Amino acid sequence: MKAEDFGKTWKEVFMERSALLNHRTNLETELIELRNKIAHLDEVLNHLAPLAGLMYANEEEISSLGITDAIRSILKRSGERLSPQDIRRLLSEKGYDLTGLSAPMASIYKILSRLVDDSQEVEREKEGGRVYYRWKHPPITDEDIPF
């Protein structure tokens, strides 16, 4: 093969890479727009449901919350003690985006520590060198919602 053949191949690969990067950017933008629309529709449904005599509460949707409130929600809805790793896993499973945090586990540890010290809502338990956190009050159920 000649140098110009390698140059032609390089240019083709570079063009394909550029096209794929553009496509990925478009898909990511579309995904963000879809998430925003779904969150907006959930808000509308939550506001309209009582007026229509219906029950609709997407309390499982924590992606629009701040991380502290998302962790509170995870702890409130859990009937058991959770390790910080359990909390991170549940946040991810429920669609909470942790990619914006440079050190997600450090943030989770700090928030849990603050919740134990400041709020009196969360208790810390140590067992076998591991630390667990539990919401002090009974977990929230659908029966607790008055409408």
Tens of pLDDT, residue by residue over 46-96, are 778 778 776 555 555 677 778 888 898 888 888 788 999 999 999 998 888
CB 78 within 8 A of CB 67: no
pTM for the predicted model, two decimal places: 0.56
Tens of pLDDT, residue by residue over 36-54, are 888 788 778 777 877 877 6
Residue spans of the domains in the chain: they are 1-58, 67-140
Domain 67-140 classification at class level: mainly alpha
Continuous segment of H or E residues that includes residue 135: strand 130-135
Tens of pLDDT, residue by residue over 12-39, are 999 999 999 999 999 999 988 988 888 7
Q: What SS3 state is found at 36?
A: helix
